[in-house]
Structure formats: C-alpha cells, structure tokens
Amino acid sequence: MQKKCRNMCIGVFDSGLGGLHILRSIVRTIPQYDYVYLGDTARAPYGHRSQETIYEYTKQAMDFLFSAGCGMVILACNTASSEALRALQEKFGAKQKILGVLIPAAEEAVQKSKNKRVGIIATTSTVASNKFIRELAKLDPDISVFQQECPLLVPLIEEGEHNSRETETILKKYLAPLLHKKIDTLILGCTHYGILENKIRKIIGPDIAIISEARVVPKKLKIYFEKHSELEKTLRKKSIIHFYSTDGTDSFKILGSKIFGRPIEVKKAILV
C-alpha cells in the first residue's frame, strides 16, 4: 500500500493528465497545502464509458486517495463529477469530503453571461448526463444552453498532440455549431480542455467569455476553506505534492511536467 501522508492532504483526481492544469492553478493560489494527484491514465478517457464503469473506476480512485491520507478529494474530472459525484458523496459520508468542479463552473457561467446564451464543450458522457443543463437551469431558468460533445480531444491531449494542426481543425469543427447559436459564454466542460484555451480563444474571438475550471476552482476552493475552518485546520501545510499514475510513469512525467509547469516525479498507482 502507498505511504500515507502525515495529517491530511488535498487529493486531486482526473482520468488522465488534464487535472494537472487545475492542480497547477490551485497550487499557485494556495501553495501552502500538501497535495496528492492521481491520474487514471491506464483507463483514460472516461468520456465514452458507462455510468456504472465510471462510478467503479472513480470509487477505486477515492479509496486510493483516502488511504493515502487525503482529508478531501477534488474530482477534477467532469465526467466523474457528472456521473458519480453524488453517489460517491453518499457512500463515503460527510467525514470524507469529495467535491466536484461542475457546479462552480456553472455558477461562474451564469455570472459572466450577458445574453443568457451559454455553450458547453464536454465529453460524450458529460453531455449525455445533461448535468450542466440542470445546474444552469437551477441557477437561471431563463438561460439557453447549447452542448457539444468532443470525443476526440481528450485522446489527442493524452497523446501530447494538443499543439498539432489536427487538433486545431477538430476544434473548429466542434465549436462551429456553438458559434452559430450566438453564444456569449463558453464552458470548458472537461478538465483537459483548459490546456487548449489559447487555441479556443483564437477560434471564438475576444467577445465570448471562456469559463475555465483552472481559474474557477482555486478561487472557489479558497472560499470553501474560509467557510470550513474546521477542515482547513486538519490539512498539512508543507507544500509537498505527490503524483501518481495508473499507467507508465515515464510518459506521464514528461508530458505532465509540461502541463504542470515544472518537473514532477511520478509513482505507479494500482487501483482495486
């Protein structure tokens, strides 16, 4: 079994490398805490899998992170947040906090949208769940929401092809229907897509607001700790980060270091 962190760490889970983009922003905002990152790269992407499979994979990840000494876990994976978060919160209970990234992004979109026309790009599973549509409707029943599934983006990013011409061509194809709907706000509904934000901005122009979880989540997490001081006091504050991957660690280390913005060391994780 993996070595436990003293006291409590903050866990961050994603199906692959995309969550490193969020972790990078979190660490920049609140660097004092200890973190454990887990990427299930051996089974990524999650976007095309059944709800039962997504739940089981994510449950295994939660077991790993809580056994590693995490006091709370952030599901940086939107697919896991949309398909498994509620059930996992019920299973693990109040003492083992699990937070998603979908609701903070929806809240930010409602605040930013001026014409109440919000577009969403996400994985096939997230789009099929209609979770974003329901959350946005709760916040503003008058808002119009347009979704676009983007099944090819996560595999391209996981393979390190996010700077290729092929990726840009695919992005234009995915974004065209949303631009046709005259959206004024675009939610990047998959953690991986934040890595493509500059390319997306180039395609959609300067007038459409982009909701990136890499910017939203750190801000919301900081506020969360201010409101839950009893949890914050249990967190270890030595600025140590542990990285785990369920697949080969060499490729994760190379590409992950680029995404995270500094060299990282990665250990192999076995999920059961």
**Residues whose CB is less than 8 angstroms from the CB of residue 216 and which lie 6 or more positions away in sequence, other chains included:** 101, 104, 105, 108
For the chain, counts of helices (H) and of strands (E): 12, 10
**Catalytic entry in 5, 9, 70, 77:** 77
Q: What is the DSSP letter of 234?
A: T
The rounded distance, in Å, linking the Cα atoms of 43 and 80 is 13
Q: Nearest Cα to 210, choosing from 219, 221, 223, 201?
A: 201
The rounded distance, in Å, linking the Cα atoms of 252 and 38 is 11
The structure tokens listed for 254 are: 């190379």
Packed helices 19-29 and 249-260: angle between N→C axes, nearest 10 degrees: 50
Phi, psi of 159 (to 5 degrees): -90, 5
Phi, psi of 228 (to 5 degrees): -125, 65
Active site residue 190: yes
- State which amino acid sits at residue 108: E
3-state SS assignment for residue 184: coil
Q: How far is CA 119 from CA 22, 186, 200, in A?
A: 21, 5, 13
Strand partners, 241: 35
Active site residue 77: yes
The structure tokens listed for 234 are: 């249990």
Angle at 171 between CA 169 and CA 177, to 5 degrees: 110
- Catalytic residue ranges: 77, 190
